[in-house]
Homo-oligomer: A and B are copies of this chain.
Amino acid sequence: MLIIMKLESPRSDIDRVIAKIKEMNCTPHEIPGSSKLAIGITGNMQFIKEEDFQLLPSVSEVIRVTKKFKLVSREMKSDDTVITFDDSSIGGNVFQIIAGPCSVESYDQTFEIAHELKEMGIKFFRAGAYKPRSSPYSFQGLKEKGLEILSDIKSKLGLKIVTEVMNSNSISSIIEVADIIQIGARNMQNYSLLEEVGATKKPIFLKRGMSATVEDLLLSAEYIASQNNFNIILCERGIRTFETSTRNTLDLNSIPVIKQWSHLPVFVDPSHGVGIWDKVPPMALASIAAGADGLMIEVHNNPSNALSDGYQSLTPKRFRELLKKINDICSIVDKDFYYEK
């Protein structure tokens, strides 16, 4: 349920609504960034009625939220969520790109790629220090050592860092370096981890699970939002189907569905979504045309020797060519893309 307050409501009236919600053993959430002041209510709502709030002073409207997810729904907040950083932002009219190698493999490899991306105007750099792999015998990432490399590169190049967290033990060291914390597809329903990263208030990049419906994805985002952290970026990265000619089936239908149901920005990861480098560019462009707010793309300076996912990585040269086309498509779908030619 959502309580819309009148414009210029005195703080005392707002506090009265909040107190009333707490009295009823539910949780109030002041919805950030709304054009109007709105207070969401979550918890066991079976005894709450619209009338309990309609007559309180300064209350303009009371709205039932029909979806199972509440705080992340468009019904709760009609404006797009925009996540701001010092010199850039994600969501709204801006189109943003997160690029980098699958894993931190060494200082030199990571620095070289980061440096090239920086020169192309990329602001968000991805690279995994902790790698969830299906087999315990595959490369599992450089872990703490990888974080140190990322920290060094961040201070040298001024890139914002996006890196994955796999468990609660590593959260404290990851938030030292990460500007955005990534939750991988396999942990999308690791609810304990969602709550813990939510509580850090850092922006969270939440990847859709391989068998998660759009509703499941938004319910997982709700776990983060229920910690009063609305800085969530959703990411479509392909689902599991019977088709075997590509690594996953990129479900671009999900983009307009998410944009309708939720105020959160949504990215696409075509590298995982198709799994073969030469098909990444068309799927990247298709994602923009479908309405995505950004892309996460794997770029590697030496794909054939990458320790993970080389087959789906673009070389910096091919990535640069793609950027030009991204810029062109953005102009048609009215997205602002700050690309330095």
User: Taking beta carbons and an 8 Å cutoff, which residues of A are in contact with B?
Assistant: 42-44, 68-70, 132-137, 166-169, 186-187, 189-193, 209-211, 213-216, 219-220, 222-223, 226, 238-246, 249-257, 260, 273-274, 278-279, 282-283, 285-291, 325, 328-329, 332-333
In the bound complex, CA of A244 to CA of B239 (Å): 13
State which of B255, B282, B325 has its C-beta within 8 Å of the C-beta of A282.
Answer: B255
**Supplied contacts A68-B135, A213-B244, A252-B286, 9 more A-B pairs, CB within 8 Å:** A134-B189, A136-B223, A136-B226, A166-B192, A190-B190, A211-B242, A250-B251, A255-B286, A256-B282
Q: Which 5 A-B pairs have the closest CB atoms?
A: A211-B211, A167-B192, A186-B189, A285-B289, A286-B290
Q: How far is the CA of A287 from the CA of B282 in the complex (A)?
A: 9
- Report Cα–Cα, A55/B302, bound state, in Å: 40
Q: Is the CB of B242 within 8 A of A256?
A: no
Query: B257–A283 contact, CB under 8 A?
Result: no
What is the minimal beta-carbon distance from A305 to any residue of chain B, in angstroms?
14
The winner among A44, A169, A242, A256 for most chain B CB atoms within 10 A is: A242
Q: List 17 A-B pairs, Cβ < 8 Å.
A: A68-B134, A132-B191, A134-B219, A134-B220, A136-B191, A136-B219, A137-B222, A168-B169, A213-B242, A238-B253, A239-B249, A241-B241, A246-B253, A257-B279, A260-B278, A285-B289, A325-B332
